Amino acid sequence: MLPDYNQDGNLPEGIHRATAAEVLDRFGTASARRLWLAERLRDLLEVAKSTGKLERVFLWGSFVTSKTSPNDLDVLLVVASDFDLEGSPEECKVLFDHSRGRIRFNADVFWTKASIGQETLDFWLDTYQTGKDFKRRGIVEVAI
């Protein structure tokens, strides 16, 4: 279960695990903008899963806050160490091209292979927990 927002409208600091259904229900229903972004996220997750190499997904930024009209989606995909971008189906490659992902999903999609190691991943996730206002905030790991 996802925690309540803090006084700043953010999730409390930490990584909060939730199913895709929980994420879409919590963050994708309160406004027309949120409904639209939730559809983009649903599509993004379907494409990411179709690689057959998706291991983890993290969300942060305005979509996982109490803002009525979030800017976009901020997503980190962690794929298997043996993921081969060149050998991926063409319809999946949009996820791994920042500009195309931005256009198709209204998302800043970042990605890495699991082989970067937990220490480096933890450093990235710690960085994502700091907002533009330099306040700490929570992020969401979507259960695959």
Average of pLDDT values for 73-96?
A: 94
Helix axes 20-27, 32-49, angle to 10 degrees: 160
User: What pLDDT digit, counting tens, does each position of 26-74 carry?
Assistant: 999 999 999 999 999 999 999 999 999 999 999 999 999 999 999 999 9
Helix axes 98-105, 32-49, angle to 10 degrees: 130
Question: Of 9, 8, 84, nearest to 92 (Cα)?
Answer: 84
Q: Please check whether the domain covering 14-143 is classified as CATH 3.30.460.
A: yes
User: What pLDDT digit, counting tens, does each position of 101-142 carry?
Assistant: 999 999 999 999 999 999 999 999 999 999 989 999 999 999
Percent above pLDDT 90 for the chain: 94
pTM for the model stands at: 0.96
Q: Using the predicted structure, report yes or no on whether residue 20 has a pLDDT greater than 90.
A: yes
